[in-house]
Structure 1
Amino acid sequence: MELKYNPVKDCSHKILAISDTMDILNGKWKMSIVACLCYKPMRYSELLKEVNGISGKVLSRELKDLEINELIERIVLNTAPIAVEYRITEYGNSLKELTNTIADWGMSHRKRIISGMTKG
């Protein structure tokens, strides 16, 4: 049996996959949180400082969503006082290449727009 290329069906599958991805990583902050945690585990207060502009309430909600989707894990440290650290899961680490690609594109885009502004 020969497989036939069906561009409409292939496009539909990609659009569905992109939609699923965007549903999980929706919003302004989730990719930034994932990107931070891809490099090192962080405590709540560290994330609050690192993710510029996020409120505490929003950070808490985003961390819960990321944990539900198994992208990060919440670790209660055996310290006094008790501290909580967030870490990327092995599954969540599969997004590291995506965060790097998005960051690279964003830097190129910023350069392009800024250079366009100085030309005009």
Structure 2
Amino acid sequence: MAGENVPYRQSLLDAMAVLNGQWVPAVLASLAPGPLNFTDLLNAINAVEERSGWVNHVRPLTRKVLTETLSRLQRDGIVQRQNTPDALFQPVYYELTPMGSSLLRSVRPLIKWAQDHQAELESARQRRGP
């Protein structure tokens, strides 16, 4: 069959599996500047969505969905969870691992492609409908 012998096929599928998830890009982008505790991460993501008019999501990110997303990203080695033992209530912080930072650097060309073709993508979506 066509495409079965493409050498990078499985690697592409593996990369897409890591990026798959409605809130994964928002989590990665929010953690790019540095570690955040759970509540600050949740609020940061929802604040960005609020400012953009909820064009990417129909409702706010919930604590449950953020927990699930972070768990999956931890499992994949993209995000790490850190406790701060010297704090009274021991807040938990999340940050990108070196592999997570590498992932973000790697998708920059994809982001550039989307920016370069934004008008064409929107036009194609409008022709096709919802």
| TM superposition score category, shorter chain reference | 0.7 to 0.9
In the alignment, the residues of structure 2 paired with residue 22 and residue 8 of structure 1 have an alpha-carbon distance, to the nearest angstrom, of 17
In the alignment, does 2:24 pair up with 1:16? no
Matched residue type, 2:25: M
Displacement of 1:71 in angstroms is 0.9
Letter in 2 for 1:74: R
Q: 1:103 to 1:80 in 2, by over 3 A?
A: farther
Amino acid at match of 2:29: A
1:21-66: CA deviations, max 9, x gaps? 1122211111221222122111111111122331110100010111
Aligned-pair identity in percent equals 25
Instruction: Structure 2: give runs of 5+ residues left out of the alignment.
Output: 47-59, 124-130
Pick from 59, 62, 70 the counterpart of residue 69 of structure 2. 62
Partners of 2:101 and 2:40 in 1: how far apart? 19
TM superposition shift of 1:14: 2.2
Correspondence for 2:106: 98
Q: Is 1:32 aligned with 2:39? A: no
- Structure showing greater Rg: 1
Of the candidates 36, 42, 48, which is equivalent to residue 42 of structure 1?
A: 36
| Residues 55, 103 of structure 1: alpha-carbon distance in 2 compared, 3 angstrom cutoff | farther
Q: How many residues align?
A: 107
RMSD of aligned residue pairs (Cα, Å)? 2.5
Amino acid at match of 1:72: V
**TM-score between both structures, scaled by the size of structure 1:** 0.73
Classify the secondary structure of the residue corresponding to 2:101. Answer: helix
- The normalised TM-score by structure 2 is 0.68
**Structure with greater helix share of residues:** 1
Alpha-carbon contact 1:31-1:99 (below 8 Å) kept: no
The one-letter code sitting in structure 2 at the alignment partner of 1:45 is T
Structure 2 CA distance for partners of 1:46 and 1:109, relative to 1, 3 Å? farther
Q: CA separation in 2, counterparts of 1:27 and 1:96? A: 15
